[in-house]
Amino acid sequence: MNRRVLIENNKMTEFKNKSVLVTGAGRGLGCYIARAFGAQGASVCVNYAHSEEGANQVVSEIEVSGGKAFACKADISNVTEVKSMIEQIMDHYGGIDILVNNAGLSRDGSFLEMTENAWDTVIAANLKGPFLVSQRVAKQMVKGRGGVIVNISATTTTQGRANAANYCASKAGLNMLTKCMALELGPTIRVNGVGLGFVDSPLVQALYSEEQIQSVVESTPLRRMTSNQETAQFVKLLASESTAFVTGQTIMFDGGRNMR
């Protein structure tokens, strides 16, 4: 067997029998990330807070593709529910190899009119949640054979966005959390982030006008948006041995739009 075939075979089996937790995997990008790992034989915990039907559908699709999966409802900003979720994963799989902190939300509004509840809700989901989940998961990883954590961030951490002070601040905090975790958890655990730009998805199409989307595309060097499928493959890359010497980085995944 030649070297190229060996490399390709390794790519197909790298995540086989690995245990993966994807938060917010009942809908949106999380679905694609969970399926991407499951398609390569991973054992996946499909976390959700509200989208039970979607989470169960993802589980079914992973099982059909040859992976293992179960759905677990948990509010990631609630430490009791996070603890229960991690215990369930340990019971199912005996360990956790990869964590993808994907769950998040936005509650946009003008700075002067933004409510305390809107601020607290977004910070809880986008920053407190990844902290709580990562802390619990990392404690299990250091007891075992280490692992990888990938945080889903955003490009708005570097340039801001009107009417999104809570969202931008939460993701900027997540970027610094990524660095601090990488410093403290290495060399046992690698921690990186994805600075996500515009994704060609129903959510973006619902939030922005055709003119706004076209403006984004025209200001992007690659002249297009990314997709959920493409993003999931990049997340998988950051969890793979191909990036074994990368940690503490939040890599902008935006077609070059926010070069600096």
- The set of catalytic residues is 167
Q: Give me the count of residues in the chain.
A: 260
Give the closest residue to 22 by CA, choosing from 44, 53, 43, 54: 44
Query: CB of 170 within 8 A of CB of 157?
Result: no
- Cα(49)–Cα(88) distance, integer angstroms: 15
The full DSSP string for 182-202 is HHHHTTTEEEEEEEE--B-SH
- Cα(81)–Cα(111) distance, integer angstroms: 31
Q: Pseudo-torsion of CA 51, 57, 60, 62, nearest 10°?
A: -80
